[in-house]
């Protein structure tokens, strides 16, 4: 199961974030070319497209893999402050706190995305309005993948502890 999650994370990060980064570069180059050489706006709403769509998608697509790779802050930092005897208890406490925080984030982002879908939330891009709910649903999906990572770490730790005994 974790290999499937790893593939999803990699594709989400590589394809999602990579495509957004490439699109951002191409849009900026096109916008600068049009503005300074052709004296016209080739892509209306360039700033809004980048700021409100591409950059958030780039960041949220990368969150699960950055968490798994250890680049994302974790609560386990505080474990080093405990004595060696309390290390296991501190580990499980940190995992519980971490999972609880991400569960709360999933609940609120799910609620936020659901409201965006129900209200048909839109945003102004250039002279048009675009629907926002597809981007909003990326938020809970991202943090659900992080929760699955935490669950995978817990299962791996339990298996390792039972094999060592």
Q: What is the pLDDT of residues 33-59, one digit of tens each?
A: 999 999 888 888 888 889 888 998 888
How large is the angle between the packed helices 2-11 and 55-68, nearest 10 degrees?
Answer: 150
- How far is residue 22's CA from residue 133's CA, in Å, rounded to a whole number? 23
* pLDDT (0 to 100) of residue 134: 86
* pLDDT (0 to 100) of residue 75: 60
* pLDDT (0 to 100) of residue 31: 92
pTM for the model: 0.76
Mean pLDDT by 10 residues, the chain (165 residues): 74 84 93 91 87 88 82 65 74 84 94 92 84 88 88 82 70
* pLDDT (0 to 100) of residue 24: 93
* pLDDT (0 to 100) of residue 111: 95
* pLDDT (0 to 100) of residue 33: 92
Contact 58, 17 (CB under 8 A): yes
Nearest to 146 by CA among 91, 88, 104, 112: 104
* pLDDT (0 to 100) of residue 71: 77
* pLDDT (0 to 100) of residue 2: 59
Residues in contact with 111: Cβ distance below 8 Å, sequence separation at least 6, in sequence order: none
- How far is residue 41's CA from residue 126's CA, in Å, rounded to a whole number? 10
* pLDDT (0 to 100) of residue 78: 62
């Amino acid at each position: 199961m974790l290999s499937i999650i790893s593939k999803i994370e990699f594709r989400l990060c590589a394809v999602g974030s990579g495509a957004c980064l490439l699109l951002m570069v191409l849009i900026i180059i096109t916008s600068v070319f049009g503005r300074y050489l052709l004296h016209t706006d080739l892509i209306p709403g360039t700033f809004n497209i980048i700021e409100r769509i591409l950059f958030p998608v780039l960041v949220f697509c990368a969150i699960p893999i950055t968490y798994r790779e250890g680049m994302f802050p974790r609560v386990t930092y505080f474990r080093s402050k405990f004595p060696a005897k309390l290390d296991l208890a501190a580990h499980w406490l940190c995992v519980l706190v971490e999972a609880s925080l991400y569960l709360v984030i999933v609940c609120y982002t799910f609620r936020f995305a659901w409201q965006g879908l129900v209200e048909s939330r839109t945003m102004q891009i250039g002279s048009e309005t675009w629907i926002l709910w597809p981007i909003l649903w990326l938020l809970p999906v991202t943090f659900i993948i992080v929760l699955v990572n935490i669950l995978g770490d817990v299962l791996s730790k339990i298996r390792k502890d039972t094999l060592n005994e």
